[in-house]
Structure 1
C-alpha cells in the first residue's frame, strides 16, 4: 500500500502520521508541496493524506491529486467547505445539524440592520481564518462600525464578508471532538485563558478530556458526514437551553493538544482507519 503524506510544514502531527504509517509497513512518500509541483496530466493511484496548513494550499493539492487518480484524506470539497465558515454553516443547516444563529452579510451597508435583528452582544467573524483571528465580540453599534471600517480595507474580499452570530453563554469554553471514518474517537474541553473569551489553544486556552454523551457523538458524526469528511475535528458550544451547537469544522485538523488532553493516539487511529478503509 502506498500513501502520500502531503504537507507544507512538518509539524508534530505530520511526523507522527509518518511514523505510524512506517511502523505498519506502509510505503509512506512525504511530499512537500512548497518544494515540488503536481502535474495534473500525470496518472497516479493510492491514498494521499492532505496536511498543508494553508487552506487553499491543502485544497488545491487535494484537487490536483484527485485529478491524477488518488484517493484523498480529506478530499478537496471537504477541505474547501470546512475552510469557509459561510459554506460550513450553510451545509450543516441544510442537513439539520444545529448551529448558532448566524446571519451572512456580504457588504457593510446592511450590517447594522442585521445586527439589530440578531441583538447584542454578538460575534462577528469572517468566513475564512483560523486560531481565533478576526473573531470579535461586539457589544454595541459603535464597536461594530469600527470593526467594519477596519475589515473594509483588508485585501481579501472574503475577509470583508461578515458572519454575525449570537453570543453563546458557554463560560468561555467549547468542546472539540475528532471523527475518523464515521467514528468519534474522543473529545476535549477547551477553557479560555484568563482575560480571553475565545477558547483557542493558539490563544492560550487549556484543555482537558471531555466525556461525550450519545447526543454529542451523534451530532459529531452527522456533521462530519454532511461535509464528507473522513478525518475532521469539530468544535461545539453547549448552549444552556438548546444543547450542542456546531461552531466549526476543521478539514485539516491539528491534534497535538487533543492527544495530550485525551491520551488518544490520533495518528495511530487515523492510519489504522486508512488501512482498514482502503483495503476493503
Structure 2
C-alpha cells in the first residue's frame, strides 16, 4: 500500500504520519510543494490517494485542483479547502446551515468598514479572510485604533487584506482578572479533531498572559477536554457543511457554543501532546481504509 502526501516540509505532524505508516508497512510518497511542478496535460503522481498537508493555502489549494483533475482522490478535497481556507466563505456556509457562529460583518473599503464597526460595536475583531496561526488578527478596541489598522490594510499589496472581515468580540469563559492572574481558570476556546465520521480528540486552548488570542502555535496552553454532546453535534454539522474528512474544528463559548473556524489542514502536535492520542496513527488508519475500498 502507498499514498502520496503534499506538504511544505516534514514538520512534526508529517513525520508522525510517515513514521506510523512505515510501522504499518505503508509507503508514503512525499511531494514538497516548494519543488513540485507539472505539465497540466501529464499526470506525474503515481498514487491514487493523496493527503494534502500544505501549510501554504494557495499552493495546497491549486495542487489539489490539479491532482483532482487527473483523477486523484485528495483529502481534503478542493471544494473543502476552498471553503475552509476562506473565513468569509466558511461563515456563509455556517449561516446557511443555521450553525451558530459569531456575528460577522464584511466590508470592502475603509469607510464602509468603519460604518460597519459602528453597527457591530466595539470591541470587535478584524481577521484576514485567508490566513492562519492568528496572524494579522487584531482586536479593535475603539474607532481610533480601528482607523489605524484599516489604513494600514489599505496600503497592503495583498488584495485579500482589502476584504474587511469584521467579527463581534466574544467574551470567553473565565475572563476574570483574579482567575487570570492565578492561572487556574483562563479564557479558552476548543479545538476538536475530526476524522471521517468520528471525533478522535479535543482540547481547550487557554490564552497566554498578554495575548487575547488562544492559538497553540503561539504558545497557548493546551489541555485535554471532554467532548460534550453539544460539542459533538456542532462538530458533525460543521464537518458536513464543508464536506470534510480530516478537520480541525474550532469552537468558542459565548452566550452559546459556536463554531469559530474549520481548518482543512490542521496541526495536531499540541493536541497529541495534551491528550496522549496518536492522531498521526488515526489518520494513517483512515487512509488505509480508504485505499482498501
TM tier, smaller? over 0.9
TM-score for both structures, normalised by structure 2: 0.91
1:74 aligns with 2:76: yes
Q: Paired residue for 1:256?
A: 269
SS of equivalent to 1:50: strand
CA distance in 2, matches of 1:76, 1:22: 27
Contact kept, 8 Å, 1:49 with 1:73, in 2: the verdict is: yes
Deviation at 1:207, TM superposition (A): 0.7
The reply to whether residue 143 of structure 1 matches residue 145 of structure 2 is yes
Q: Map of 1:169-208 to 2, 5 A cutoff?
A: 169-170=171-172, 171=175, 172-208=187-223
Residue 38 (structure 1) shift: 2.8
> Residues 53 and 245 (structure 1 numbering): CA distance in 2 closer, same or farther, change over 3 Å?
same
Deviation at 1:178, TM superposition (A): 0.6
Post-superposition offset of 1:39 = 3.2
Q: CA deviation at 1:111?
A: 1.3
CA RMSD across the alignment: 1.4
User: Deviation of residue 272 (structure 1)?
Assistant: 0.8
Partner of 2:49: 47
Q: 1:45, CA displacement in angstroms?
A: 4.9
Q: Which residue of 1 aligns with 2:105?
A: 103
- Give me the whole-angstrom Cα distance separating, in 1, the residues matched to 2:52 and 2:39: 17
Tell me how far 1:176 sits from its aligned partner.
Answer: 0.4
Structure 2 unaligned residues grouped into runs of 5+: 176-186
The number of equivalent residue pairs is 278
Distance in 2 of aligned mates of 1:31 and 1:203: 27
Q: Which residues of structure 1 form unaligned runs of 5+?
A: none
Describe the superposition over 1:236-278 as per-residue Cα deviations: whole angstroms up to 9, x where unpaired: 1111x22x11111111111111100111111111111122234
SS at match of 1:196: coil
> Are the aligned partners of 2:4 and 2:47 in contact in 1 as well (CA < 8 Å)?
no
Q: Which residue of 2 aligns with 1:83?
A: 85
For residues 126 and 133 of structure 2, the distance between their equivalents in structure 1, rounded to whole angstroms, comes to: 15
SS at match of 1:174: strand
1:247 paired residue number: 260
d(CA) in 2 for partners of 1:142 and 1:189?
A: 33
Counterpart position of 2:178: none
Does the CA-based 8 Å contact 2:3-2:47 persist in structure 1?
A: no
CA distance in 2, matches of 1:156, 1:4: 31
Indicate the residue corresponding to 1:273 in structure 2: 286
Distance in 2, matches of 1:203 and 1:140, equals: 25
SS across alignment from 2:110: coil
Does the C-alpha gap of structure 1 residues 2 and 90 become closer, same or farther in structure 2, counting only changes over 3 Å? same
- The 1:4–1:103 alpha-carbon spacing in structure 2 relative to 1, beyond 3 Å, is same
TM-superposed deviation, 1:93: 1.1
CA positional deviation for 1:27: 2.9
What is aligned with 1:28?
28
Relative to the length of structure 1, the TM-score reads 0.95
Q: 2:5 maps to which residue?
A: 5
2:183 counterpart residue number: none
SS at 1:193's partner residue?
Answer: coil
